[in-house]
Amino acid sequence: MRRKLVVANRKMNGSLPSNAAFLEGVLAGILDYHHADYAVCVPHPYLFQAEAILKGSPVAWGGQNMSRFASGAYTGSVSPRMLTEFGCQYVIIGHSERRQRGHDTDHAIGERFEVATQAGLKPILCIGETLAEYEEGMTDLVTIRQLNAVISEIGVKGLAGGVLSYEPVWAIGTGKAASAEHAQNVLSFLRGHIEMLDAEIAKNIQILYGGSVKAENAAKLFSMSDVDGVLVGAASLNTDEFVAICQAASNACV
Catalytic residues: 95, 167
For ligand 13P, the nearest residue by Cβ is: 233
Smallest separation, CB 198 to ligand 13P (Å): 26
- Comparison of 109 and 235: residue with beta carbon closer to ligand 13P: 235
- Comparison of 78 and 237: residue with beta carbon closer to ligand 13P: 237
User: Dihedrals φ, ψ of 229, to 5°?
Assistant: 160, -175
Task: List interacting residues with ligand 13P (CB under 6 A).
Answer: 9, 95, 167, 172-173, 210-213, 231-235
Smallest separation, CB 200 to ligand 13P (Å): 27
| Vertex 130: Cα angle to 129 and 135 (nearest 5) | 95
Q: How many CB atoms lie within 10 A of CB 245?
A: 27
- Comparison of 108 and 232: residue with beta carbon closer to ligand 13P: 232
- 171 by Cβ neighbours in 10 Å (0-12 / 13-18 / 19+) ranks as buried
- Comparison of 156 and 234: residue with beta carbon closer to ligand 13P: 234
Smallest separation, CB 196 to ligand 13P (Å): 27
Smallest separation, CB 236 to ligand 13P (Å): 7
- Sign of the C-alpha dihedral computed for residues 221, 57, 40 and 159 taken in this order: negative
Q: Which residues of 94-109 are buried (b: 16+ CB within 10 A; e: fewer)?
A: bbbbbbeeeebebebb
